[in-house]
Amino acid sequence: MEAPSTAPLPGASLREALARFAHHAFRLRGRASRSEYWWWMLVSSSAAVVLLFVVPALLDARLPDVQVLLHPFGWWTWQQGSLLGPIDPADPASALVGVYLWCSAAWWLVTIVPGFTVAVRRLHDSNLSGWWTLLFLLPAGGFVLLLLALRRSRPEGARFDGTPLTPLERVRMGMP
C-alpha cells in the first residue's frame, strides 16, 4: 500500500524534499519529515548567504553590514544594515544591483508561504498543532520553533493527514 501524499517522507533526498516542498507549497494539512524540513532550511539558508552576502560583496566590492533573521520558515529578513552602499545611477553596475534586488524580493515572495506551510507540517509530524508557529512572534520564539522541528516523528501525528485512521491503525498507535 502506498503512503498518502500527506504522509511524511522519512529519509528524503534533497531532490525529493524540494519536490515535495514545491508540490505541497500551500498545503497546511499533512506532515513533513525531519529530512523534508531540514533540506528546505539548508536551501533557504544557502540562498540567504548568497543573496545577502555573496552577491552584495561582488557588486559593491565589500562585505555588507547585515544581520540576518533566520526563522523556522527559512530566512525571514535582514535588519540593521545596508546591503549595498550608495549606487551612482550612471554606474554600469547599477543595472545589476536592480536585477539583484528584484531577484532577492522575488525569492522572498515565492518562498515565504511555502516555508511557513512546511514548518506547520513539520510540527504536525511530531504531533503538535500548527498554531505553535505563532511562537515566532515572540523574541525567542523562532529559536524554540527550530528546536521543536528537531523532534522525532510520532505516529499520532497521522491525525493531521486528513484521512481517517482504520481501527487497526488506531490500535497500533495506542489511540482509543
- DSSP codes, 56-95: HHHHHSS--EEEEEEETTEEEEEEEEESS----TTSTHHH
Cα dist. 9→35, 55, 126, 139 in Å? 8, 34, 13, 31
pLDDT tens string 74-115: 655 554 455 555 555 566 566 777 777 788 888 888 999 999
Give how far the C-alpha of residue 146 lies from the chain's centroid of Cα atoms, to the nearest Å: 10
Q: What is the pTM for the complete model shown? A: 0.76
Rounded to an integer, what distance in angstroms lies between the CA atom of residue 27 and that of residue 24?
Answer: 5
